[in-house]
Structure 1
Amino acid sequence: MASYQARGRDPLFDSDTAATLERRGRELVGVGLVIVGLIVSAMIASYSPDDPSFLSATDAPVQNWMGRMGAYIAAPLFMIVGAGAWALAAVFLTWGGRLILHRGQGRAMTCLIFAPIWVALCSVYASGLTEGAEWGHNFGMGGLFGDMMMGSIIGILPFSVGLGLKLAQLFLGLGILGLGAFVLGFTRPELKAIGRFGLIGLLVSYATFVRIAGRSASGAMSGAMTGAQRLQAAQQERRARRMAEADAAAAAQEAIPMAAPAPLVATRVRRADPLPAAPVYEDDDDYIFEDDAVYDEPAVPAQPEKGGFLSRMPSLIRRAEPMPEPELVTREVDHDIDAPGEDRIRAKIAKAVSARGKPVAVPGVQKRPDPTKPLTKGRGHGPQPLIFKPQTRGLPPEPPLTAAARSLPPEPPLTAHHAAPMAAGVATDALTATRGLVRAPEPQGAMPRFAAPRHAEPQEAMPRFAEPRAAEPQAAVAPAPVAQPMPEPEEAWQDDAAFAEMRDFDDYGDDDRHDDHHEDRAEAWQAEDSAAWSAESAGTWSDDDFGEAEEATILDHSTPAPTPIHRAAPAMPEPKKVVQQPVRKPVQLSTRAQLEAQPKLSFEDRNVDYELPPLSLLMSPDQVTRHVLSDEALEENARMLETVLDDYGVKGEIVSVRPGPVVTMYELEPAPGLKASRVIGLADDIARSMSALSARVSTVPGRSVIGIELPNDNREMVCFREILAGREFGDGNHKLPLALGKNIGGDPVVANLAKMPHLLIAGTTGSGKSVAINTMILSLLYKLTPEDLRLVMIDPKMLELSVYDGIPHLLSPVVTDPKKAVVALKWVVGEMEDRYRKMSKMGVRNIDGYNGRVADALSRGEMFERTVQTGFDDETGEPVFETEQIEPKKMPYIVVIVDEMADLMMVAGKEIEACIQRLAQMARASGIHLVMATQRPSVDVITGTIKANFPTRISFQVTSKIDSRTILGEMGAEQLLGMGDMLYMAGGSRITRCHGPFVSDEEVEEIVNHLKAFGPPDYVSGVVQGPDDEKADNIDAVLGLNTGGNTGGEDALYDQAVAIVIKDRKCSTSYIQRKLGIGYNKAARLVEQMEEEGVVSAANHVGKREILVPEQQ
Structure 2
Amino acid sequence: MPSTQLSNRVQHQQHIDAEYQIPGRKPSGFHRMMTGVMAFALGVFICGAYGSHSPTDPSLNVASDAETSNLFGSTGAVAADLLMQSFGWTAWLAGFGLMIGGVYRTFGIGPRRPSRWFWGMMAISMTCICLAGWPIPSNWPLATGLGGMAGERLNHFASIPFAAFGAPDPVLLASITTGIAGVLFAAIAMGLGADDGIAVFRTIGQMWNSFKRGKAIPMEVVTEHDEAEIRDVAGLRDRANSFFENMRSRNPQQAALPDPEKMEPHLEDNFLRNIENSERPTIPVRQRLAEKVVETQPASSIIEETTPKSTLFGNRASQPNTDMPAKAPAPAPVSVKPVRAPQPATPQSSISAPILNDGSRLPPIDLLQLPPERRSDHDETKLLEMAELLQVVLGDFGVKGRISEVRPGPVVTLFEFEPAPGTKSSRVISLAEDIARSMSATAARVAVVPGRNAIGIELPNDDRETVYFRDLLSSKAFTRSRASLPLALGENIGGESTVADLAKMPHLLIAGTTGSGKSVGINAMILSLLYKLTPEECRFIMIDPKMLELSIYEGIPHLLSPVVIDPNKAVAALKWTVREMESRYEVMSKMGVRNISGFNKKASEARESGETYTRPIQTGYNSDTGEPIWENEIIDMRPMPHIVVVIDEMADLMIVAGKEIEALIQRLAQMARAAGIHLITATQRPSVDVITGTIKANFPTRISYMVTTKIDSRTILGEQGAEQLLGMGDLLYQASGGKLNRVHGPFVSDEEVEAVVNFLKDTGEPSYVEGLTDEPEEDVSVADAAMGVSSGDVEEDLYREAIQIVRRDKRASTSYIQRKLRIGYNRAASLIERMESEGLVSAANHAGKREILMPEDNAA
**TM-score band (shorter)?**
0.5 to 0.7
In structure 2, the CA distance between the partners of 1:662 and 1:1091, relative to structure 1 (3 Å rule), is closer
Residue 637 of structure 1: how far off its partner (Å): 1.3
1:113-164 C-alpha deviation (Å, 9 max, x unpaired): xxxxxxxxxxxxxxxxxxxxxxxxxxxxxxxxxxxxxxxxxxxxxxxxxxxx
Partners of 2:738 and 2:428 in 1: how far apart?
21
Q: Which residue of 2 aligns with 1:680?
A: 429
The answer to whether the aligner puts 1:610 opposite 2:360 as a matched pair is: yes
Amino acid at match of 1:716: E
Question: For the Cα contact (< 8 Å) 1:1091–1:1097, is it kept in 2?
Answer: no
Give the structure 1 partner of residue 804 of structure 2.
1058
SS in 1 for 2:418: strand
User: Taking structure 1 as the reference length, what is the TM-score of the superposition?
Assistant: 0.45
Please give the secondary structure, in 1, of the residue aligned with 2:576.
helix
For residues 966 and 945 of structure 1, the distance between their equivalents in structure 2, rounded to whole angstroms, comes to: 12
Q: Deviations over 1:1034-1063 (max 9, x none)?
A: 99xxxxxx9xxxx9xxx99975851763x8
Does 2:767 correspond to 1:1018? yes
The verdict on how the C-alpha distance between 1:962 and 1:693 changes in structure 2, with shifts beyond 3 A counting, is: same
Question: Alpha carbons of 1:868 and 1:807: their partners in 2 closer, same or farther (altered >3 Å)?
Answer: farther
> Does the alignment pair 1:854 with 2:603?
yes
- Paired residue secondary structure (2:686): coil
Contact 1:1097 1:1108 in 2 (8 A): no
The residue type paired with residue 626 of structure 1 is R
- Report how far residue 397 of structure 1 moved: 9.5
Give, in whole Å, the separation in 2 of the partners of 1:1029 and 1:1078: 18
Question: Structure 1: how far apart are the matches of 2:818 and 2:780?
Answer: 31
The Cα of 1:719 is off from its aligned counterpart by: 1.3
Q: 1:634 Cα deviation (Å)?
A: 1.4
**Pair 1107,714 (structure 1): closer, same or farther in 2 beyond 3 Å:** same
Report the CA distance shift for 1:932/1:568 in structure 2 as closer, same or farther (over 3 A): same
Which letter maps to 2:701? T
After TM superposition, the structure 1 = structure 2 runs for residues 614-625 of structure 1, keeping only pairs within 5 Å, are 614-621=364-371, 623-625=372-374
Match of 1:628 in 2: 377
Please point out which of 824, 827, 832 is paired with 2:573.
824
Structure 1 match to 2:470: 721
Q: Which runs of 5+ in 2 are unaligned?
A: 16-43, 55-102, 105-260, 273-286, 293-300, 306-316, 321-339, 785-790, 845-849
Match of 2:551 in 1: 802
Name the amino acid aligned to 2:379. Answer: S
Change in CA separation of 1:719 and 1:630 when aligned onto 2, cut-off 3 Å: same
CA distance in 1, matches of 2:537, 2:779: 30
Q: Distance in 2 between matches of 1:681 and 1:192?
A: 24
Q: 2:304 aligns with which of 562, 568, 580?
A: 580
Please say if 1:392 is aligned against 2:142.
Answer: no
Residue 435 of structure 2 aligns to a residue in which SS?
helix
Of the three residues 421, 446, 452, the one matched with 1:703 is 452
Post-superposition CA distance 1:82-120 (Å, at most 9, x none): xxxxxxxxxxxxxxxxxxxxx9xxxxxxxxxxxxxxxxx
- Secondary structure of 1:1017's partner? coil
The one-letter amino acid paired with 1:994 is: V
CA contact (8 A) 2:9 2:389 kept: no
Q: 1:1095 to 1:712 in 2, by over 3 A?
A: closer
**1:151 alignment partner in structure 2:** none
1:937 to 674, 679, 686: 686
Residue 1069 of structure 1 is matched in structure 2 by 812
Q: In structure 2, how many angstroms separate the alpha carbons of the residues matched to 1:1070 and 1:868? A: 44
Confirm or deny: 8 A CA contact 2:814 2:828 kept in the other structure.
no
CA contact (8 A) 1:612 1:781 kept: yes
Looking at CA atoms only, which structure, 1 or 2, has the larger radius of gyration? 1
The residue number in structure 2 matching 1:732 is 481
User: How far off is 1:703 after superposition?
Assistant: 1.5
Alpha-carbon spacing, 1:391–1:1011, altered in 2? closer, same or farther (3 Å): closer
Q: Match of 1:401?
A: none
Deviation at residue 636 of structure 1 after TM alignment: 1.7
Instruction: Indicate yes or no: 2:628 matched with 1:972.
Output: no
Q: Which has the higher contact order (CA 8 A, sep 6+)?
A: 2
SS of alignment partner, residue 735 of structure 1: coil
Residues 1076 and 849 of structure 1, relative CA distance in 2, 3 Å threshold: closer
- How many correspondences in the alignment? 551
Q: In the alignment, which of 516, 519, 522 is matched to residue 773 of structure 1?
A: 522
Q: Which amino acid aligns with 1:579?
A: I
Question: Percent identity, aligned pairs only?
Answer: 53
For the residue of structure 2 that corresponds to 1:849, the secondary structure is helix
- SS of equivalent residue, structure 2 residue 403: strand
Amino acid at match of 1:740: L
The one-letter code of the counterpart of 2:575 is: K
What does the per-residue CA deviation read over 1:635-684, in whole Å, with 9 as the maximum and x for residues that have no partner?
22111111111111111111111110000000011111111111101111
Quote the Cα distance in structure 1 between the aligned partners of 2:700 and 2:598: 25
* Runs of 5+ consecutive residues of structure 1 not aligned to the other structure: 1-102, 104-185, 194-387, 399-465, 468-562, 1036-1041
SS of 2:804's equivalent in the other structure is helix
Instruction: Give the TM-score normalised by structure 2.
Output: 0.57
Structure 1 segment 176-255 matched on structure 2, within 5 A: none
Q: 1:684/1:874 Cα in 2 relative to 1: closer, same or farther (>3 Å)?
A: same
Query: Residues 1028, 841 of structure 1: CA spacing in aligned structure 2 closer, same or farther, 3 A cutoff?
Result: same
Q: What is the distance in 2 between the residues matched to 1:1085 and 1:600? A: 58
Q: Separation in 1 of the partners of 2:721 and 2:553? A: 33
Residues of 2 paired with 1:860 and 1:390: CA distance? 90
User: Counterpart in 2 of 1:759?
Assistant: 508
**1:507-522, aligned counterparts within 5 Å?**
none
CA distance in structure 1 between the partners assigned to 2:644 and 2:385 by the alignment? 48
Say yes or no: does 1:841 pair with 2:584.
Answer: no
Q: In the alignment, which residue of structure 1 is the partner of 2:787?
A: none
Aligned to 1:365: none
Structure-2 separation of matches of 1:644 and 1:654: 12
Aligned pairs for 1:781-792 within 5 A: 781-792=530-541
The offset of 1:1027, in angstroms, is 3.5
Instruction: Find the residue that maps to 1:908 and give its secondary structure.
Output: helix
Q: Deviations over 1:713-765 (max 9, x none)?
A: 00000011111112221121100000000000000000000000000000101
Structure 1 CA distance for aligned equivalents of residues 377 and 475 of structure 2: 22
Structure 1 residue aligned with 2:237:
none
Within-5 A mapping of 1:416-427? none
How big is each residue's C-alpha offset from its partner over 1:756-797, in whole Å with a ceiling of 9 and x where there is no partner?
Answer: 000000010110000000000000000100000010000000
Q: What's 2:831 paired with?
A: 1089
1:389 positional shift: 11
Letter in structure 2 aligned against 1:793: M
**Aligned partner of residue 821 in structure 1, secondary structure:** helix
Give yes or no for contact 1:645–1:651 (8 Å, CA) kept in 2. Answer: yes
Aligned equivalents of 2:668, 2:660: Cα separation in 1: 12
Report whether the alignment pairs 1:654 with 2:407: no
Code of the residue aligned with 2:591 in structure 1: it is M
Contact 1:624/1:719 (<8 A) preserved = no
Per-residue deviation, residues 244-272 of structure 1 (Å, max 9, x unmatched): xxxxxxxxxxxxxxxxxxxxxxxxxxxxx
Once superposed, what is the RMSD of the aligned Cα atoms?
Answer: 4.5
| 1:14-163 matches, cutoff 5 A | none
SS of aligned partner of 1:1010: helix
Deviation at 1:702, TM superposition (A): 1.8
Residue 874 of structure 1, CA deviation: 4.8
1:864 alignment partner in structure 2: 613
1:970/1:608 CA distance change after superposition, 3 Å: closer
Which residue in 1 is equivalent to 2:198?
none
1:763/1:769 contact within 8 Å kept: yes
Aligned-residue offset at 1:827: 0.6
Deviation at 1:1069, TM superposition (A): 2.3
- Cα offsets for 1:909-962 (capped at 9, x unmatched): 000000000011111111110000000000010011111110000001000000
Which position in structure 2 is the counterpart of 1:958? Answer: 707
The 3 A distance-change label for structure 1 pair 1009 and 664 is: same
